[in-house]
Every structure is written in C-alpha cells, then in structure tokens.
A and B are shown apart, each in its own frame.
Chain A
Amino acid sequence: MTAPFLILAALAVAGTAAAMGLRNGVHCVLALTVGFAALAALYLQLGAQFVGFTQIMVYVGAVAILAVFAIMMTHHPGLIEAPFSRNWLWGAVIAAAVFATLARAISLGTASAPSAPPEPSATVNQIGDALMHRYILPLEIVGLLLTAALIGAVIIAIDPKDREESE
C-alpha cells in the first residue's frame, strides 16, 4: 500500500459515505462527485487511463448532473423530511454483515496472491483496436441499448399533457 492509494481511498470512502449520510440531497450529490473523482484517480493509478477519463466524463459529468437536476426538480422547499427510512437499523446491519463477509472472503482468498506483476499496457490505441475487431458485436449491442434507453427515458419522463398537445 502506497501513500497515493491511501489518500485516494480515504477520499473515495469519505465522499461516498457523505453522499449516503448527509441530509440535503444536493449536498449528497456534491459529495458523490468527490467520491467518483477519487475513483477515477484510482483507475488512473492502476494504469487504466481510458476507464479513468470515461469515469470522469460519464459519472462526474453526466450521472451526477442528472441526479442534481432530478433532486432539484422534485424538491419541496420548506418541507423537512427524515432522510432515513424507519427501519434504517436493519439496512445498516445487513450492509455491515455483507462487508464482514466480503472482507473475510478477501483476506482468506487472496492471501497467497503474488506481488504486483509488471503493469499491463492498455493504450487508447489498443482499446480502440479491440473494440473495432474483437468486441465489435458487444459494442453494437451497447450502442443499441443506449439508444433505446435514452429514447425510453425521454418518453417516460415527458409530461402526458405536453405529449397530448404535440400530437
């Protein structure tokens, strides 16, 4: 474990924990962007440049902004609600149990893992080449999925009154 890993891991955990624990929804999403950015830096540190920049563009740039807009569109000023569910204790216990199970499996399962191998290379050139040859069919299917999902999202989110007027 190195100092950059520890700093980035602390940032990621603090950002995501704040995102799940703060009361104000907009503050939650702002804390979430810190966590996502720290995760992107972790990807960069692991040598996956393309995935790191994709993480910044998709999560920090798109998903977090979309969530901020959704929270602001559904916000009632002056209405203060309890941020957590009535049976929040059960959720916390289940999450802690899942973490304990995973941590035990990790400490038992990878105890004999060898030290870090030389860093594998994944340049954008290689990734583009693989996407256009070996992974061309999954790429097409993901493109179709994204198109269908975005058209479906617009149709679901559009106001029924607006839809009638435009017809």
Chain B
Amino acid sequence: MSSLQSYLLLSALLFSIGLAGALTRRNAILVLIGIELMLNAANLNFIAFWRFGPHPANRPDALTGIMFAIFSIAVAAAEAAVGLAIILAAYRHSRTTDLDRMNHLKG
C-alpha cells in the first residue's frame, strides 16, 4: 500500500465517521461538528494529493493544493460561526437542540 493510498483511506475513514455522526446524533451542535469533520477529511485529501502528486518545478500552480485547503478552512470557519448562531437562535425559540424535537417551522 502506497503512502498516498494510506492517507486517502484515513481521509475516507474520517469522512465516514463525520457522516455517521451527522446522520445519527440528536444534538444539533454535534451534527454541525460531524459536518466539520467531513470538511476536514476533504482538506486532508487536498494536502495528500499536493504532497504525492506530480510536481513540475516552477509551475505557477504548484501551490494549488495548499491554497485550496486554506480557503476551505476559511469557508468552514464561516460556516461554523453561522451554523452555531442559527442553532442558538433556534434554541432560544424552542428551548431545545434536539433535532428529533425540532420538527416544526412555526413556533
């Protein structure tokens, strides 16, 4: 098994753990954390492909993998802030973060 393969397998495992958490947890905050985990798995893929991909010297796009990971982290941070704010607003309305009980749009 090559190094790239082991990194990709680890990334697939992390993605599946995040997906399982997002699908099975009842607490909305932990569902959001599961989604963050899936984004992290994608970042690991970007870095692994950047490290093990072909690298012609002095190409202007030699840093694309790094850049994609950096922008992805920035977007994930914005997503976490807005997601937690929405959960807090919904909690103030319905006094719960339990997704099985947050099943109505109108208070």
A contact set with B: CB distance below 8 Å: 1, 5, 9, 12-13, 16-17, 19-21, 25, 28-29, 32, 35-36, 39, 42-43, 46-48, 50-51, 54-55, 58-59, 62-63, 66-67, 70-71, 73-74, 81-86, 88, 90-92, 94-96, 98-99, 102-103, 106-107, 110-111, 113-120, 122, 126-127, 130-131, 134-135, 138, 142, 145-146, 149-150, 152-154, 156-157, 159
User: Chain A contacts of B7 at CB under 8 A?
Assistant: 5, 42, 46
User: Chain B contacts of A13 at CB under 8 A?
Assistant: 10, 13-14, 17
A interface secondary structure, majority: helix
Known contacts A54-B70, A113-B2, A119-B51; A106 and B77 CB within 8 A of each other: no
In chain B between 1 and 39, which residues have their CB closer than 8 angstroms to a CB of chain A? 1-10, 12-27, 29-30, 32-34, 36-37
* Cα(A86)–Cα(B101), bound, Å: 11
User: Chain A contacts of B20 at CB under 8 A?
Assistant: 20, 91-92, 94-96
Whole-angstrom distance from the CB of A165 to the nearest CB of chain B? 16
Query: Are A70 and B84 in contact, CB atoms less than 8 angstroms apart?
Result: yes
User: Chain B contacts of A159 at CB under 8 A?
Assistant: 92
Query: Are A85 and B63 in contact, CB atoms less than 8 angstroms apart?
Result: no
Chain B positions 84 through 96: 1 when the CB is less than 8 Å from some CB of chain A, otherwise 0: 1111110110000
User: Chain A contacts of B98 at CB under 8 A?
Assistant: 81
